[in-house]
């Protein structure tokens, strides 16, 4: 699947976002090796702490369905911003454990004026990994 098609799936996910407090809607789409796409949207809560980002929503949905990092080929994240927005620190940490470190992370904006392709090694240098707990 092309990056553009995966970004379109993320755009559809963004429409499901529940962001009444920040009005910052985010959509994410995971492409699995079997061709399936799992989407996620951010879901806010008035207490803020229980809020879940789109990236984590998609990843947690995939893992809940039995998929693992070896099954995920790339993720697209889209925001309604002038430039493509990077995942938050919490999402970066989750991605560092639930995605292969070289999994492409496609960042885009709704206006289709900015797209960046990265990976977790670039987005989270000096990452904290399970081996740090040994």
Give the C-alpha separation, 92 to 119, whole Å.
10
Give the C-alpha separation, 31 to 26, whole Å.
17
Contact by Cβ (8 Å): 93, 127: yes
Told to judge if 55 belongs to the known catalytic residues of this protein, a careful annotator would answer yes
Q: Which letter does DSSP use for residue 84 in this model? A: P
Beta bridge pairs of residue 76: 29, 106
Catalytic residue, from 55, 97, 100, 122: name it. 55
Q: Which residues contact 22 (CB under 8 A, 6 or more apart)?
A: 44
List residues with catalytic annotation.
Answer: 55
């Amino acid at each position: 699947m092309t990056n553009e098609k995966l970004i379109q799936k993320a755009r559809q996910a963004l429409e499901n976002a529940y962001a009444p407090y920040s009005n910052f809607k985010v959509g994410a789409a995971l492409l699995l090796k079997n061709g399936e796409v799992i989407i996620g949207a951010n879901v806010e809560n008035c207490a803020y702490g229980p809020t879940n980002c789109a990236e984590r929503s998609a990843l947690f949905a995939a893992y809940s369905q039995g998929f693992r990092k070896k099954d995920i080929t790339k993720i697209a994240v889209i925001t309604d911003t002038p430039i493509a927005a990077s995942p938050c620190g919490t999402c970066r940490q989750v991605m560092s454990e639930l995605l292969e470190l070289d999994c492409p992370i496609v960042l885009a904006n709704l206006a289709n004026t900015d797209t960046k392709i990265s990976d977790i090694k670039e987005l989270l240098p000096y990452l904290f990994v399970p081996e740090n707990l040994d």
